[in-house]
Amino acid sequence: MYKIGLVGGTGYTGAELMRLLVNHPQVKLHAITSRTEQGIAVADMFPSLRGFVDLCFTNPSIDTLAECDLVFFATPNGVAMKLVPELLKEGIKIVDLAADFRLHDPDVWEQWYGCAHTCPEVLQQAVYGLPEVNRELIKKAQLVANPGCYPTAVQLGFLPLIEQGLADISYLIADAKSGVSGAGRGVKVGSLLCEASENMAAYGVTGHRHLPEISQGLQQMAKGQPVGLTFVPHLTPMIRGIHATLYTRVMNKQTDLQALFEQRFADEPFVDVLPQGEHPHTRTVKGTNTCRMAVHRPQNGEIVVVLSAIDNLVKGAAGQAIQNMNIMLGIEEAQSLLVPGLMP
C-alpha cells in the first residue's frame, strides 16, 4: 500500500481526490492537510466521506509529508511551489493540481499569475501530466503538473488535428462551457446559486489564465509552430462538467476525420470517440475520468467542429491526477477510475 499525502484538502478537487482514493486498493491516505481546518475531522466537513475517511486535517509539515510515497497538492496557485523543492529533495513523488508547474517559462507564469515564480529551476523537471501526450515522460517523472480543466478538454479535442497538421493553427477557436465547481469552494458572489443558476455568461474574454497553458500545449503538438488561439470560457449553471466546442479550418478536406480521431484514441482508456454525427453530453461523464468527444464537419465545409466533454473535477482535475499517480507508481493506469457516469 502506497502512502499518499494530500496538501489542501478542503476544496472540491481535494474532496474529489479523497472520494476516488478511498476505494483504490493499492494506496492509503496518510495525511490530509489544511492550515485553516487543522484538528477538524475531514468527515465533519465532508459528510459524504463519513465511514471512509477517519483522518483529521493537519497542518502541512514536511516531516509528515516525507513519510508519503506520493503527495498531491490541491492548493491555490502559488502554494505548492513553496513546499515542492524540499519534498523533491526527500525523494517524494508529487502531483500538483494547481498551475504552479504547468508553464515552462517562469516569465509567462509571472505575467499571468501576477507574482514571481519561487523555484523556476524546478520547472524543467516538471512533466505536464496529460497522459495522452506525455505518458512516457510521466512514467519517469518525480513531479507532474496536472493539467487545468479547460486545457484538458481543449487539448484532447485539438490533438489529432494538430498532430497531423490538419488544422489551420493560426485561427483556432475554443468556446468552453464549465460547471460552477470549476470556480472552487471559495465563497464569492458569482458562485452563489442565486447568481450562477438560471444564467449563462462568458468571462475572462480578454484573457484567461488557461490561455497560455493551452497555447503551450497546442504549440508542442504543432512541433513548436506558434498557434493563434481564441479561448472564451463560460460559466454554465450546473455543478460539474466542461463542454469545449472547438473550431478550426481543416487543411485537407479529403481526410476521414472520424477515422483519424478513432485511431488516435483507440488505445486510450479515458478518451471515447462517439460515432459519426453524435454529440457528447457532459452528464455521460459525470463522476468519471472519461473525455467523450465527437468530430463534425458541418455540411462538408472547411470548418471542423470538435465537441469535447469531461467532468472538470475528474478528468479535469482529481481523476487525471490519480491517472498520473497510477502511471508514476507503476500501478495499472486505469485502476479505480473505470466507472460509468452517474446518470441521471
201 interacts with a second copy by CB under 8 A: yes
40 interacts with a second copy by CB under 8 A: no
Q: Which is nearer to a second copy, 85 or 207 (CB)?
A: 207
315 interacts with a second copy by CB under 8 A: no
258 interacts with a second copy by CB under 8 A: no
8 A C-beta contact, residue 70 and residue 17: no
Instruction: Kindly state the smallest distance separating residue 112's Cβ from a second copy, in Å.
Output: 12
Query: Is 119 marked active-site?
Result: no
267: CB partners within 8 A, 6+ apart:
none
**For a second copy, which residue of 142, 296, 329, 335 counts as binding (CB under 8 A)?**
296
Taking alpha carbons only, the member of 306, 303, 284 closest to residue 295 is: 306
226 interacts with a second copy by CB under 8 A: no
Distance, CA of 132 to CA of 139 (rounded, Å): 12
State how far the alpha carbon of 110 is from the alpha carbons of 75, 103, 127, in Å.
18, 10, 19
8 A C-beta contact, residue 77 and residue 44: no
**Binding to a second copy (CB under 8 A): which residues in 268-287?**
272, 274, 277-287
User: What is the total count of residues that contact a second copy (CB under 8 A)?
Assistant: 85
**Which of 119, 149, 194, 291 does the annotation list as catalytic?**
149
Name the strands in the sheet holding 242-249, side by side, starting at the edge strand that comes first in the sequence. 201-202, 229-235, 172-178, 242-249, 303-310, 291-296, 271-273
**For a second copy, which residue of 121, 140, 194, 266 counts as binding (CB under 8 A)?**
194
- CA 327, 333, 339: angle at the middle one, nearest 5? 145
Stretch that binds a second copy, among 48-56, 100-108, 120-128, 253-261 (CB under 8 A): 48-56
266 interacts with a second copy by CB under 8 A: no
In the three-class reduction of DSSP (H, G, I as helix; E, B as strand; rest coil), residue 28 is classed as strand
267 interacts with a second copy by CB under 8 A: no
Q: Which is nearer to a second copy, 123 or 242 (CB)?
A: 242
Residues belonging to the active site? 149
